[in-house]
């Protein structure tokens, strides 16, 4: 039966070549769309790893000049204490520019046992950072004041990086080499749960947390503050006054993390909606086209179908044949399409998990089959309704 | 003859209404999407408010340091760099300098406002033709005295002062400092990087030290040439000067700073680096994307056209039997197809106007209004023609090779 169908299609390969190309390109489009959707969906389903509901960020751009590092540290330490003493403030921490939901990324790399590991998100954090975001420490501990005396610079890493480096082994106390040789070695003192800090649709990636050292205040321009739920706009304007009165030479901006999260998610969702609209339009276009061409082909084959009916084929058998032929056509293009699509997980294009690609391939195949099935059902029914007498008479 | 083809085309279109619908649907929606995209790009390329002198301006937005070790440092320029080096250009008539918009907060009646502050020099107001709804820009004397005067946008006026007739002379507070409002301008969308701001202040009141002799900073410059013809000369002059600028930092061994057209500057930020403008990469990428996008509707249209033409094989057979050459027939079918795409294009234009209206009303980017102007329409017409030819040529060729006998027998 299938051999017969293939033979039928093969004999008309020239007429069908355009249909096959069309299905092939539709498959590739759907593959791309599903890859994105599956990837975003998987990321969306992983836990956030931190809280941000009552967190504010302060961006300041201070131009104060200091004679030495001690007065610099003292200046900012006094500021921190002033803010901390306000009643609505739960915790304060200075931070590098890449605070959660900002569009700022700072990455680093280091060597471990001769392996070069790169693209690690590098966070500069103060001691209070953990409590501002309610981060979960899975192993070891967060930074404390005793760390300044340590022989190696202490760092905290996240779960992803730990699994990549040590698997199930022990991460605590391990020494890793900094890329910058002069700065010496780093010692892991804690492992924290992954923080999905680039938005709901992006996974956490590798991360390493470095404590802010005294000289860092020269270029750091961010503070993260956890406030109590009753902190309102009136309090915010009071906080603002306090900040600008203290940092006379700075421009200050207060932003709320929930609204930053919305913005960052929007920058993922809006292009996605545009893409889906365009893809949806292309698919409607293709569906209408397939439908039209199949329908026309049935009309052209009236004679052949009439003959089959005359020698005893049932209506269902005829419509079944039409549908099966279309599905064989689809299979031909899907085989070619799948061959190209499989290269993505094999060659590790775009650094996505293989599972994402494979799910996307399966979804795209199912989608194209459904599309072709839907488009061929009506022409098939029409073919079944052909009366042998009428059809043969026309001939 | 053409009138005849037109009549035939209309008759054919009306015969198979379903196929006509599919074709028109495909053509009009494809063109709508292309036109909306062109409207976006057109907004970037062609002069618009307040940058009406864009065709005789060049923009210096970035400065880049590289070293052979692979280090790269890219940022805006400092005020010192722009006045000290770009300021020496002989061709440039005026040099407007403005900082990146910097966000700051203001609190009015316990409501928080975000105010994006931009520091500018005086020439900036001569180059950019801002529409002042009241007041005027600050002058050189006010800049020299570092007076705390501000030009604000209509949006800020509404947000900060409410719906009042005049605000000139009133005070606005940002960063806990009072500025006296001396002018109000029509708002600029945030996508127009060099011109967007909610509050414009003299550079001399900026908190960062504009006298700093480093090269990097938040500023960018607009160079205005006396005439459009002088623009290439001005660009050459700048290009020849940059390699002679001493490199301040020992870690780096190359310095790149370019005077680009507005669009060129945008592309450089996206795709360029070092001495590469990124224009080739951008055009190739955008072209490839457009082609890929056009591929599906085109193949679809070709499919439908073939079906349609094969249906008319008897007509073709008769015409051939009476001596019509293949060339005439191909010509006829292409003309018919172009008529079809023209109708689709017309529907597409109407749809685009609706879609653009919808996008504008959504206000995805504040103060940005997209419109279909003559340039966009011209490009759409071109796309329409291309589309019509692309989807018409192959079916017409297939048809013209049809054997007379087979064609007649099909009936």
DSSP states along B208-265 = S-TT---SBSSEEEEEE-SSGGGHHHHHHHHHHHGGGSPP--TT--EEEE--B-HHHH
- Report the candidate in B54, B51, B198, B189 with the shortest Cα–Cα distance to residue B130: B51
Name which of B19, B20, B22 to mutate to probe chain A: the one with the most chain A Cβ atoms within 10 A of its Cβ: B22
CB contact under 8 A, A22 and B207: no
Report the distance separating Cα B185 and Cα B162, nearest Å. 15
pLDDT at res. A1: 66
Report the distance separating Cα B112 and Cα B185, nearest Å. 22
What pLDDT, in 10s, does the model give residues A1-23? 677 777 777 777 777 888 888 89
- Paired with A157 in beta bridges are A191, A208
Cβ A58 vs Cβ A375: under 8 Å: no
Weakest mean pLDDT among A19-28, A114-123, A125-134, B51-60: A114-123
Q: DSSP letter string over A319-357?
A: HHHHHHHHHHHHHHHHHHHHHHHHHHHHHTGGG--HHHH
| Closest Cβ opposite residue B110 in set A234, A245, A250 | A234
CB contact under 8 A, A293 and B18: no
pLDDT at res. B409: 67
Once rounded to an integer, what is the mean pLDDT over residues A350-376? 90
Report the distance separating Cα A379 and Cα B95, nearest Å. 69
CB contact under 8 A, B112 and A293: no
Q: DSSP letter string over B286-355?
A: HHHHHHHHHHHHHHHHHHHHHHHHHHTHHHHHHHHHTT--HHHHHHHHHHHHHHHHHHHHHHHHHHHHHH
Name which of B19, B114, B307 to mutate to probe chain A: the one with the most chain A Cβ atoms within 10 A of its Cβ: B307
Report the distance separating Cα B349 and Cα B377, nearest Å. 8
CB contact under 8 A, A285 and B33: no
**Could you tell me the pTM of the whole model?**
0.80
Q: Is the pLDDT of residue A146 over 80?
A: no
pLDDT at res. A371: 92
Q: Is the pLDDT of residue B410 over 60?
A: no
Weakest mean pLDDT among A253-257, A328-332, B20-24, B70-74: B70-74
Report the distance separating Cα A9 and Cα A18, nearest Å. 13
Q: What is the DSSP letter of B373?
A: -
Q: What Cα–Cα distance (Å) separates residue B392 from each residue in A46, B3, B334? A: 50, 19, 5
Once rounded to an integer, what is the mean pLDDT over residues A49-53? 91
Q: Is the pLDDT of residue A216 over 70?
A: yes
Q: Specify the higher pLDDT residue, B308 or A188.
A: A188
pLDDT above 90 coverage of chain B, percent: 27
Report the distance separating Cα A137 and Cα A156, nearest Å. 9
Residue B136: strand, helix, or coil = coil
Report the distance separating Cα B257 and Cα B77, nearest Å. 9
CB contact under 8 A, A25 and B110: no
Residues 6+ away with beta carbon under 8 Å from A285: B22, B25, B26, B29, B30, B296, B297, B300
Count of A-B CB contacts under 8 Å: 98
Q: Is the pLDDT of residue A182 over 80?
A: no
Once rounded to an integer, what is the mean pLDDT over residues A22-44? 92
What pLDDT, in 10s, does the model give residues B225-264? 999 999 999 999 999 999 888 888 777 888 899 999 988 8
Q: What is the ipTM of this complex?
A: 0.75
Cβ A165 vs Cβ A148: under 8 Å: no
Contacts of B107 in chain A (CB under 8 A): 233, 236-237, 240
Strand order in the sheet with B63-66: B72-75, B63-66, B254-257
- Report the candidate in A250, A387, A381 with the shortest Cα–Cα distance to residue A318: A381
Once rounded to an integer, what is the mean pLDDT over residues B53-78? 84
Q: Is the pLDDT of residue B87 over 60?
A: yes
Chain A contact present for B293, CB below 8 A:
yes
Q: Specify the higher pLDDT residue, B320 or B208.
A: B320
CB contact under 8 A, A285 and B208: no
Contacts of A270 in chain B (CB under 8 A): 364
What pLDDT, in 10s, does the model give residues B202-224? 999 887 777 778 888 889 999 99
Output the average pLDDT for chain B: 85
Cα torsion A26, A28, A31, A36: sign: negative
CB contact under 8 A, A22 and B102: no
Contacts of A284 in chain B (CB under 8 A): 25
CB contact under 8 A, B19 and A292: yes
Write out the H or E segment, with its range, that includes residue A364. Answer: helix A354-384
Report the distance separating Cα B20 and Cα B32, nearest Å. 18
Residues 6+ away with beta carbon under 8 Å from A370: none
**Confidence band of A36 (pLDDT split at 50, 70, 90):** very high
b/e burial code for range A285-312 (CB count within 10 A of at least 16 → b): bbbbbbbbbbbbbbeebbeebbebbeee
Torsion over CA of B222, B227, B229 and B231, rounded to 10 degrees?
Answer: -10
Residue A241, min C-alpha distance to chain B (Å): 7
- Paired with B206 in beta bridges are none
Report the distance separating Cα A379 and Cα B295, nearest Å. 26
A 10 A CB-CB count for A25 gives 19
Once rounded to an integer, what is the mean pLDDT over residues B290-319? 82
Residue A92, min C-alpha distance to chain B (Å): 20
Chain A contact present for B107, CB below 8 A:
yes
Output the average pLDDT for chain A: 86
Residue B300, min C-alpha distance to chain A (Å): 6
Report the distance separating Cα B233 and Cα B235, nearest Å. 5
Contacts of B25 in chain A (CB under 8 A): 284-285, 288
Burial class (CB in 10 A: 0-12, 13-18, 19+), B113: middle
| Closest Cβ opposite residue A249 in set B102, B107, B207 | B207
CB contact under 8 A, B103 and A253: yes
Helix axes B374-400, B279-311, angle to 10 degrees: 50
Q: Find how far residue A225's CA is from the centre of its chain.
A: 27
Burial class (CB in 10 A: 0-12, 13-18, 19+), A65: exposed
Q: Is the pLDDT of residue A133 over 90?
A: yes
pLDDT above 70 coverage of chain B, percent: 98
Chain A contact present for B111, CB below 8 A:
yes
Chain A contact present for B117, CB below 8 A:
yes
- Report the candidate in A55, A127, A115, A42 with the shortest Cα–Cα distance to residue A352: A42
Place of tokens 């209509």: B154
pLDDT above 70 coverage of chain A, percent: 97
Name which of A256, A296, A337 to mutate to probe chain B: the one with the most chain B Cβ atoms within 10 A of its Cβ: A296
Kindly report the backbone phi and psi dihedral angles of residue B239, in degrees, each rounded to the nearest multiple of 5, phi listed first.
-60, -35
Q: Where are the strands (E) in chain A, listed by range?
A: 55-62, 89-95, 107-112, 115-125, 137-140, 153-158, 175-178, 185-192, 207-211, 222-227, 250-256
Q: Specify the higher pLDDT residue, B266 or B236.
A: B236
Q: Which residue in A has a C-alpha nearest to residue B292's C-alpha?
A: A25
Chain A contact present for B114, CB below 8 A:
yes
Once rounded to an integer, what is the mean pLDDT over residues A80-99? 91
Once rounded to an integer, what is the mean pLDDT over residues A175-179? 69
Q: Find how far residue B285's CA is from the centre of its chain.
A: 16
Residue B410: strand, helix, or coil = coil
Once rounded to an integer, what is the mean pLDDT over residues B190-208? 87
A 10 A CB-CB count for B198 gives 27
Name which of B100, B300, B302 to mutate to probe chain A: the one with the most chain A Cβ atoms within 10 A of its Cβ: B300
Once rounded to an integer, what is the mean pLDDT over residues A176-186? 64
Q: Where are the strands (E) in A261-393, listed by range?
A: none
């Amino acid at each position: 039966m299938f051999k017969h169908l293939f033979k039928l299609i093969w004999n008309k390969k020239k007429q069908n070549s355009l249909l096959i190309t069309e299905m092939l390109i539709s498959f590739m489009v759907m593959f791309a769309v599903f890859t994105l959707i599956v990837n975003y969906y998987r990321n969306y389903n992983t836990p956030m790893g931190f809280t941000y509901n009552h967190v504010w960020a302060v961006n300041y751009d201070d131009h104060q000049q200091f004679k030495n590092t001690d007065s610099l540290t003292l200046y900012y330490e006094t500021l921190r204490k002033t803010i901390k003493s306000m009643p609505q403030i739960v915790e304060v921490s200075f931070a590098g520019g890449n605070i959660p939901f900002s569009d700022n990324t700072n990455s680093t790399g280091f060597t471990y046992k001769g392996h070069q590991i790169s693209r690690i998100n590098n966070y500069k954090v103060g001691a209070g950072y953990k409590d501002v975001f309610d981060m979960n420490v899975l192993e070891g501990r967060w930074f404390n004041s005793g760390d300044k005396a340590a022989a190696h610079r202490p760092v905290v890493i996240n779960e992803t990086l730990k699994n990549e480096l040590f698997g199930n082994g022990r991460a605590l106390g391990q020494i890793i080499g900094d890329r910058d040789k002069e700065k010496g070695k780093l010692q892991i003192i804690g492992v924290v749960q992954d923080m999905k800090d680039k938005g709901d649709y992006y996974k956490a990636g590798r991360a390493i947390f470095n404590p802010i050292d005294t000289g860092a205040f020269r270029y750091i321009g961010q503070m993260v503050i956890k406030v109590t739920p009753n902190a309102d706009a009136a309090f915010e304007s009071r906080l603002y006054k306090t900040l600008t009165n203290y940092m006379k030479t700075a421009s200050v901006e207060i932003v709320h993390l929930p609204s930053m999260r919305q913005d960052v998610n929007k920058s993922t969702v809006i292009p996605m909606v545009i893409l889906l609209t365009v893809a949806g339009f292309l698919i409607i276009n293709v569906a209408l086209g397939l439908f039209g061409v199949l329908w026309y082909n049935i009309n052209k084959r009236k004679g052949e179908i009439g003959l089959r009916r005359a020698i005893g084929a049932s209506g269902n058998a005829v419509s079944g044949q039409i549908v099966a032929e279309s599905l064989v056509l689809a299979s031909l293009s899907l085989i070619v399409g799948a061959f190209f699509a499989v290269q993505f997980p094999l060659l590790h294009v775009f650094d996505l998990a293989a599972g994402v690609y494979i799910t996307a391939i399966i979804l795209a195949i199912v989608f194209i089959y459904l599309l072709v099935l839907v488009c061929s059902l009506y022409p098939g029914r029409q073919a079944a309704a052909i009366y042998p007498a009428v059809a043969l008479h026309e001939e | 003859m053409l009138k005849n083809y037109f009549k035939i085309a209309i008759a054919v279109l009306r015969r198979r209404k379903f196929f006509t619908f599919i074709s028109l649907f495909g053509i009009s929606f494809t063109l709508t999407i292309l036109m909306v995209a062109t409207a976006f790009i057109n907004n970037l390329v062609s002069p618009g408010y307040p940058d009406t002198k864009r065709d005789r301006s060049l923009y210096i937005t970035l400065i880049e340091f590289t070293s052979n070790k692979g280090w790269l440092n890219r940022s805006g320029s400092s005020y010192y760099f722009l006045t000290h080096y770009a300021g020496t250009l002989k061709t440039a008539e005026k040099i407007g300098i403005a900082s990146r918009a910097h966000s700051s907060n203001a609190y009015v009646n316990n409501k928080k406002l975000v105010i994006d502050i931009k520091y500018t020099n005086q020439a900036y107001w001569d180059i950019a033709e801002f529409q002042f709804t009241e007041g005027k820009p600050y002058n050189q004397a006010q800049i020299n005295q570092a007076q705390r005067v501000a030009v604000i946008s209509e949006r800020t006026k509404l947000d900060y002062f409410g719906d009042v007739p005049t605000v000139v002379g009133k005070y606005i507070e940002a960063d806990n400092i009072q500025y006296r409002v001396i002018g109000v301008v029509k708002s600029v969308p945030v996508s127009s990087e060099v011109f967007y701001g909610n509050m414009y202040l003299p550079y001399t009141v900026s908190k960062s030290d504009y006298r700093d002799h480093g090269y990097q900073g938040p500023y960018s410059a607009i160079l205005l040439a006396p005439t459009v013809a002088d623009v290439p000369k001005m660009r050459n002059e700048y290009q020849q000067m940059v390699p002679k600028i001493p490199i301040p930092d020992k870690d780096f061994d190359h310095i790149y700073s370019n005077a680009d057209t507005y669009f060129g500057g945008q592309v450089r930020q996206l795709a360029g680096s070092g001495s590469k403008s990124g224009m080739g990469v951008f055009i190739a990428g955008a072209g490839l994307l457009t082609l890929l996008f056009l591929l599906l509707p085109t193949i679809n249209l070709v499919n439908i056209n073939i079906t349609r033409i094969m249906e008319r094989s008897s007509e073709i057979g008769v015409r051939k039997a009476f001596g019509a050459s293949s060339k005439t027939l191909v010509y006829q079918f292409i003309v018919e197809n172009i008529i079809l795409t023209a109708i689709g294009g017309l529907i597409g234009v109407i749809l685009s106007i609706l879609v653009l209206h919808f996008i504008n009303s959504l206000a995805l980017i504040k103060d940005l209004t997209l419109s279909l102007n003559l340039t966009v329409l011209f490009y759409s017409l071109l796309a329409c023609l291309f589309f019509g030819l692309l989807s018409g040529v192959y079916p017409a060729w297939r048809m013209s090779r049809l054997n007379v006998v087979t064609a007649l027998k099909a009936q």
